[in-house]
């Protein structure tokens, strides 16, 4: 890369241009859903309901409001016409409405509003596209009716649309902020441009992969937002680490080491930079990718798509840093400081941070007191996580003023149909006609339970053990050849619905039965995540321990990194519960819907992403401490010097990552706001409290044991060739000519 830099940059530029042109013509179909677990009992029941009964969660729901009663002649005529026209549209399989079924649950309590429910053909992506196409045609004024829309597919379509708008707005807001922060951090426009180029290559490389995956699997629209924020955030981390080290190496040989043409030996400085900081970047990108890989094993399409986005963008970022940055550094040389008004002061200034040196000295001077105070602070921040409640994403993650959100909330308020609480009991092998007595007895038995308010079957409605209403045209849709299903409504608060689901699954029935409905889907999703979480957590921690051992050759440091990162994550989770579940600080973060729950998948997403960034900073710090220790310093001196020389870099990197995800805090989508807030808080806490105080306190207490490993593992580490030979520190200040010549030869070698 350093011997043929122009060829490298020409090839990278050509590849970037090809990817950019391809993306201009790409029309990927991203998904707005994927938050429910696949392969569960509720998912199997939903598939049977859709295939045999054409039932389940409605893809598209039109609410028709009129000034006259819905049963009046002119309103009925308009409602039937709306139903027929919608049923004739391509992509629409079935349409049910109050006017063609007479189902009372499709009529509002005041009798002036009715629902038109449509089942759409295809998977989630196809139904979302169909809903986005149909809604503009069938909403608005239609004779005496005023029509508005909601439904799962329309919510998905609007979520995709809003995510795209949020991405554009985040870029418009984030680019100026990031540019200003980069200028302050790197000093010169030339240096600040380097991580921007790296991040651009990373996003250009990851985006085509996401577009290709969208054709074979559901890819969440939020994955593009996450890939962009993470790509530029990690690129800034790597760029700052390499540029800072390159400046140190270049300043050390300034006026001394030159190439054959008499120019400063930028090649030697670049090679030395890549040999130290470049090796850290190599392990860092691999570690973050490993932290995200277990997300592929979760049974949620949403998590799998975010994992693909994160892995792709991090690996592309590491590749761009290893390929493009060395070539740019060789060609730029001292030009890297061009345009920096503080370049002379920057060269004269020590590479160390006096503030972080004082903090490290204080932490290592009284390690028990400093470490104990930090642990207590993080534990107090994690306390709200003790009362966390998990839920599944629905229309409430969208802005309240958006049509799909407003209409869905209005239906819950004005209609007796319990959209979010009805539990469906499917009897796929029970003939409701031939086994009428058994089905009736089963419905009566269920309705007698104190936790059940009503049971609706194709034969009638039951409450308190007796029939309260006969069959309706709509309820007859619950019966098909050799099968039927019942709608059960609980009488307790919403928190009791999971218990009702488990009770219905345990009770005997006339034949095999499956239980679904919104409470069942939420319960099954939580159960599926809880079932695989221990295995995936163990796999994640095991992989990180192996990678950190390969990097350091130590056993204790990887264990310390995992424990401290987990403690930092718990503190961030506590803050998320305090803000997004309990509804505090809404004025500071902007208005958002408080549901009293956290989305089930978000803690997993935050843990994997933030854990990877935490380990990333661990690598930055440990690499420098190990370098000092191998140079002959004692434990405390190595720790203090390592923190003093990396503290400014890590703090600046965490601030830049926080700024990179800052635009997500302004998002109107709760999930994006939650992700941005969680990642920003996690990296800032990790870069200051954990890296600045907890790590030096722990390493001071451990002493020489920090670098211990059993003899077989030490031999394995050396046999793999992953250890680095000691690189003597670059000289600073005036040195004898003979020593200068020796240093120059070592650098070139």
DSSP H/E element including 402:
none
In terms of Cα–Cα distance, which of 712, 721, 710, 711 is closest to 550?
Answer: 721
State residue 502's pLDDT score: 92
119 CB neighbour count, 10 Å cutoff: 20
How would DSSP label each residue in 463-507?
A: ETTEEEE---TTGGGGEETTEEEEEEEESS-GGGHHHHHHHHHHS
State residue 602's pLDDT score: 79
Residue in this structure with the two tokens 């950019």, named with its chain if needed: 20
Any idea what the Cα angle at residue 416 is, between residues 432 and 598, rounded to 5°? Answer: 100
**How far apart are the C-alpha atoms of 101 and 115, rounded to whole Å?**
11
State residue 375's pLDDT score: 92
Buried b (16+ CB within 10 A) or exposed e, 229-258: bbbbbbbbbbbbbbbbbbbbbbbbbeebbe
- Output the CA–CA distances (angstroms, integers) from residue 250 to 272, 322, 323, in the order listed: 10, 19, 20
Exposed (0-12), middle (13-18) or buried (19+): which is 128, by Cβ within 10 Å? buried
State residue 472's pLDDT score: 64
**How far apart are the C-alpha atoms of 374 and 606, rounded to whole Å?**
22
In terms of Cα–Cα distance, which of 290, 279, 359, 371 is closest to 322?
Answer: 279
Judge whether 517 and 466 are in contact, CB under 8 Å.
Answer: no
State residue 733's pLDDT score: 42
State residue 63's pLDDT score: 92
**How far apart are the C-alpha atoms of 395 and 410, rounded to whole Å?**
12
Residue in this structure with the two tokens 């060269």, named with its chain if needed: 347
- If you compute the radius of gyration of the chain from its CA atoms, what whole number of angstroms results? 31
pLDDT digits (tens, 9 = 90+) for 381-425: 999 998 888 877 677 777 777 888 888 888 888 887 666 677 888
Task: Show the tokens assigned to 480.
Answer: 């098909």
Judge whether 393 and 671 are in contact, CB under 8 Å.
Answer: yes
State residue 640's pLDDT score: 92
Helices of type H across 402-555? 403-414, 436-447, 497-506, 518-552
State residue 418's pLDDT score: 62
Phi-psi region of 719 (alpha: psi -120 to 50; beta: other; left: phi over 0): alpha
Residue in this structure with the two tokens 């890590």, named with its chain if needed: 650
3-state secondary structure of 97: strand
pLDDT digits (tens, 9 = 90+) for 679-720: 888 888 988 899 889 999 999 998 888 888 888 888 887 887
In terms of Cα–Cα distance, which of 165, 173, 276 is closest to 668?
Answer: 165
pLDDT digits (tens, 9 = 90+) for 10-39: 888 898 888 888 777 776 677 666 777 888
Helices of type H across 187-254? 189-213, 222-252
State residue 748's pLDDT score: 57
Exposed (0-12), middle (13-18) or buried (19+): which is 115, by Cβ within 10 Å? buried
Give Cα 734 to chain centroid, integer Å: 51
- Output the CA–CA distances (angstroms, integers) from residue 424 to 153, 410, 600, 660, in the order listed: 20, 23, 22, 44
**Beta-strand pair 598-599/390-391:** parallel
Task: Show the tokens assigned to 13.
Answer: 């530029």
Which residues of the chain have a pLDDT value below 70? Answer: 27-28, 31-33, 54-57, 167, 170-172, 174-175, 178, 253-264, 339-351, 393, 417-420, 472-481, 721-749
Task: Show the tokens assigned to 181.
Answer: 């922060």
> Is the model's pTM score more than 0.85?
no
Residue in this structure with the two tokens 């503080």, named with its chain if needed: 342
Main-chain phi, psi angles of 180, to 5 degrees: -65, -45
- Output the CA–CA distances (angstroms, integers) from residue 22 to 16, 246, 308, 740, in the order listed: 10, 35, 20, 51
């Amino acid at each position: 890369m350093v011997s043929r830099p122009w060829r490298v940059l020409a090839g990278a530029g050509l590849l970037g241009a090809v990817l950019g042109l391809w993306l201009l013509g790409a029309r990927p179909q991203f998904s707005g859903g994927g938050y429910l677990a696949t392969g569960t009992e509720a998912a199997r029941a939903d598939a049977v309901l859709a295939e045999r009964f054409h039932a389940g969660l409605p893809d598209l729901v039109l609410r028709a409001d009129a000034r006259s009663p819905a049963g009046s002649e002119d309103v009925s005529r308009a409602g039937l016409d709306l139903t027929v026209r919608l049923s004739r549209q391509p992509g629409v399989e079935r349409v049910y409405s109050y006017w063609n079924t007479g189902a009372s649950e499709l009529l509002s309590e005041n009798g002036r509003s009715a629902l038109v429910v449509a089942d759409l053909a295809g998977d989630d992506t196809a139904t979302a596209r169909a809903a986005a196409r149909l809604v503009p045609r069938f909403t608005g004024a239609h004779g005496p009716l005023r029509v508005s829309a909601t439904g799962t597919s329309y919510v998905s379509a609007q979520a995709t649309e809003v995510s795209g708008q949020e991405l554009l707005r985040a870029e418009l807001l984030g680019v100026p902020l990031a540019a200003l922060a980069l200028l302050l951090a790197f000093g010169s426009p030339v240096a600040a441009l380097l991580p921007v180029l790296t991040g651009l290559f990373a996003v250009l490389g990851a985006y085509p992969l996401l577009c290709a995956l969208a054709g074979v699997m559901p890819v969440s629209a939020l994955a593009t937002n996450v890939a962009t924020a993470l790509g530029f955030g990690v690129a800034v981390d790597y760029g700052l680490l390499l540029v800072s080290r390159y400046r140190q190496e270049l300043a050390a040989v300034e006026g001394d080491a030159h190439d054959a043409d008499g120019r400063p030996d930028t090649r030697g400085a670049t090679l030395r930079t890549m040999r130290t900081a470049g090796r850290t970047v190599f392990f860092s990108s691999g570690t973050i990718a490993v932290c995200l890989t277990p997300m592929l094993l979760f049974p949620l399409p949403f998590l799998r798509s975010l994992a693909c986005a994160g892995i792709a963008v991090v690996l592309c970022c590491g590749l761009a840093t290893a390929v493009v940055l060395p070539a740019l550094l060789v060609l730029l040389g001292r030009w890297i400081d061009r345009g920096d008004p503080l370049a002379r002061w920057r060269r004269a200034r020590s590479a160390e941070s006096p503030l972080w040196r004082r903090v490290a000295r204080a932490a290592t001077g009284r390690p028990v007191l400093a470490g104990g105070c930090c642990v207590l602070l993080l534990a107090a921040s994690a306390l709200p996580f003790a009362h966390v409640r998990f839920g599944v994403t629905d229309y409430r993650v969208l802005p309240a003023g958006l049509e799909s959100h407003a209409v869905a909330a209005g239906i819950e308020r004005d209609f007796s149909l319990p959209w979010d609480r009805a539990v469906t009991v499917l009897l796929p092998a029970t003939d409701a006609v031939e086994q009428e007595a058994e089905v009736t007895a089963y419905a009566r038995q269920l309705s007698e339970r104190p936790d059940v308010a009503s049971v609706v079957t194709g034969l009638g409605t039951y409450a308190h053990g007796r029939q309260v209403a006969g069959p309706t045209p709509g309820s007859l849709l619950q019966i098909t050849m050799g099968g039927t299903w019942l709608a059960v409504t609980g009488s307790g608060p919403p928190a009791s619905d999971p218990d009702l689901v488990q009770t219905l699954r345990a009770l005997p029935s006339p034949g095999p039965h499956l239980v679904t409905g919104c409470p069942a889907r939420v319960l099954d999703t939580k159960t599926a995540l809880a079932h695989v979480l221990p295995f995936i957590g163990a796999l994640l921690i095991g992989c990180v321990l192996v990678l950190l051992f390969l990097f350091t050759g130590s056993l204790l440091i990887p264990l310390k990194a995992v424990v401290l990162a987990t403690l930092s994550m718990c503190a961030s989770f506590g803050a998320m519960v305090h803000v997004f579940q309990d509804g505090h600080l809404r004025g500071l973060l902007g208005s958002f819907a408080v549901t009293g729950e956290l989305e089930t998948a978000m803690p997993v997403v935050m843990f994997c992403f933030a854990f990877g960034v935490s380990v990333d900073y661990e690598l930055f710090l440990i690499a420098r401490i190990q370098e000092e220790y191998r140079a002959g310093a004692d434990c405390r001196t190595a720790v203090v010097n390592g923190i003093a020389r990396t503290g400014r870099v890590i703090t600046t990197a965490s601030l830049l990552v926080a700024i990179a995800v800052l635009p997500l805090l302004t998002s109107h989508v709760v999930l994006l706001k939650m992700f941005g807030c969680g990642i920003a808080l996690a990296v800032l806490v990790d870069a200051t409290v954990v890296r600045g105080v907890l790590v030096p306190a722990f390493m001071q207490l451990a002493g020489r044991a920090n670098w211990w490993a059993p003899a077989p593992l030490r031999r394995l580490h050396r046999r793999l060739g992953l250890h680095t030979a000691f690189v003597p520190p670059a000289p600073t200040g005036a040195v004898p000519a003979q020593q200068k010549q020796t240093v120059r030869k070592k650098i070139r070698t």
